[in-house]
Amino acid sequence: MKYAGTGSLAKEIERAPLPPFDAVVLNRLKSNEPEIVWNLMLRQAAAYYYGNWPGIDDSSVYRVIGQKMLAQYPSVKQEGANSWASRNQFMT
């Protein structure tokens, strides 16, 4: 699923499926234990998004990714003034 180059990159990623995480990451996300696989999850997500959309460099895209992750896997929410989904440092 390569970037089609039509419209906004954030909109295209919004329509795209989430990364195909491996069984280890999926099990921990579903068990509400994301901290155990946090770095692995980020590496897999980065490989998926940068592999399919190499031009990702905008905070609006990271925000979309974070919101999608949070909607599917609520256990990734982090404490603090800004939830993980609103941070611009998803894969930086």
Task: Give the model confidence (pLDDT) of 11-30 as tens digits.
Answer: 999 999 999 999 999 999 99
Q: Domain of residue 75: give its range.
A: 9-86
In a domain, 51, yes or no: yes
3 within some domain: no
In the chain, the number of structural domains is: 1
Residue 63 domain-assigned? yes
Q: How far is CA 35 from CA 8, 28, 32, 80, in A?
A: 32, 8, 9, 16
Q: What percent of the chain has pLDDT over 70?
A: 77
**Confidence band (pLDDT; 50, 70, 90) for 8?**
confident
pLDDT digits (tens, 9 = 90+) for 44-92: 999 999 999 998 888 889 999 999 999 999 989 875 545 555 444 455 5
